[in-house]
Amino acid sequence: MLRFLGRRILLVLVTLAVASILIFAITNVLPGDVGRIILGPFAPQDAVERLNAELGADRPLAVRYAGWLSGVARGDWGRSYAFDTAVLPLVAERLGRSLLLAGSGLAVLVPLAVAAGVAAARREGGLFDRVLSVVGLAVGALPEFVTGVFLILVFGIWLGWLPIQALPPEGAGSLTVAAHLVLPVGCLVLLLFAYLFRMTRASMIEALASDYTRTAVLKGLPQRTVIRRHVLRNALLPTITVIGAQIGWLVGGLVVVETLFKYPGIGSLIHFAATNKDIPLLVGCSLAITFVFALGNLAADLLYAALNPRVRHGRNAH
């Protein structure tokens, strides 16, 4: 297991190194003059050129990357053009909020979707299975802004049960924070439920029809024991992989949800940085999201290996 962990950590480091090169290169070839963006369209050209020289924007790309990477290693991620503040604290604050929202969504989504998938697979073709499959697919096909607007209208405005803004007031207690997160978390659950439910259901059906399940049943083991010890252990492997792949999207791809519920997360921040050509902030946000995505996949790989010893021993899982 330690060797497996070492290989996966090395892979994460290589992934981050390659991602940092690509992110820096792509964001630094965006059209637009950095000095002109900061000083405005009517600034004198000599002032723009002086600012570019001060910022190092006139240096070769490889030199700028080396300087930026050295700063990242020291905890200096540069300074935002738009906010005129250090990038790292700004990114860390927004990332923390996005992690809270994504973690709350996963805490509700995973048990609900897995339990529903297991129940539907055990009654394949039954009324529960058919209804949940159709309803889940229909709701999952809706764009998140449609689902979000529906939740706001029904539970926030018409019924008035929940606040429509996800960000609670300063100094709010845990219950108030939870109440403000209910609607955006509900939006995330409705958006991703169908995908995770169908993945769990399909894996469960395959595991229930496998030879090892039939052998366990023929040995006279109780059905609950067969499900818990033999079926779930194998059926959850593809689901774990899917959850790990969704973490990066949940953290950085929720621009629509954050906009609808006025939640200042990293998704809306990276959208702002791209729109305003704030290169240091855009690079910092992208790197943070990549780091979270890599850690999410690492956690999924470790859990996968814990459930399937053949993976950590380098053998074929099939």
- Supply the pLDDT for residue 316: 46
Question: What predicted TM-score, i.e. pTM, was given to this entire model?
Answer: 0.79
The CATH number of domain 97-265+292-312 is 1.10.3720.10: yes
What are the structural domain ranges in the chain?
A: 19-73, 97-265+292-312
How large a percentage of the chain has pLDDT more than 70?
A: 87
- Supply the pLDDT for residue 192: 85
Smallest CA-to-CA distance from 145 within 117, 187, 113 is with 187
Taking the C-alpha atoms of residue 143 and residue 125, their distance in angstroms, rounded to an integer, is 28
Confidence of residue 12 (pLDDT cuts 50, 70, 90): confident
- Supply the pLDDT for residue 90: 92
Segment 224-243, tens digit of pLDDT: 777 777 777 777 777 887 78
Taking the C-alpha atoms of residue 252 and residue 247, their distance in angstroms, rounded to an integer, is 9
- Supply the pLDDT for residue 317: 44
- Supply the pLDDT for residue 308: 64
Confidence of residue 92 (pLDDT cuts 50, 70, 90): very high
**How many Å separate Cα 194 from the centre of its chain?**
17
Confidence of residue 133 (pLDDT cuts 50, 70, 90): confident
- Supply the pLDDT for residue 54: 67
pLDDT for 42 beyond 70: no
pLDDT for 57 beyond 80: no
**Region 107-112 average pLDDT:** 90
Segment 141-171, tens digit of pLDDT: 888 788 888 889 998 889 888 888 888 877 7
pLDDT for 126 beyond 60: yes
pLDDT for 132 beyond 50: yes
Distances (CA, A) of 213 to 7, 117, 306: 32, 18, 20
Confidence of residue 1 (pLDDT cuts 50, 70, 90): low
DSSP state of 183: H
**Region 171-187 average pLDDT:** 86
Query: Tokens representing 277?
Result: 């050509």
Q: 126 or 35, which is more confident?
A: 126
Distances (CA, A) of 17 to 14, 25, 165, 241, 247: 5, 12, 37, 23, 20
Most confident region among 4-13, 158-167, 209-218 by mean pLDDT:
158-167
Tokens 């190194």 sit on residue: 17
Taking the C-alpha atoms of residue 71 and residue 53, their distance in angstroms, rounded to an integer, is 18
SS3 track for 212-269? HHHHHHHCCCCHHHHHHHHHHHHHHHHHHHHHHHHHHHHHHCCHHHHHHCCCCCHHHH
Q: 45 or 265, which is more confident?
A: 265
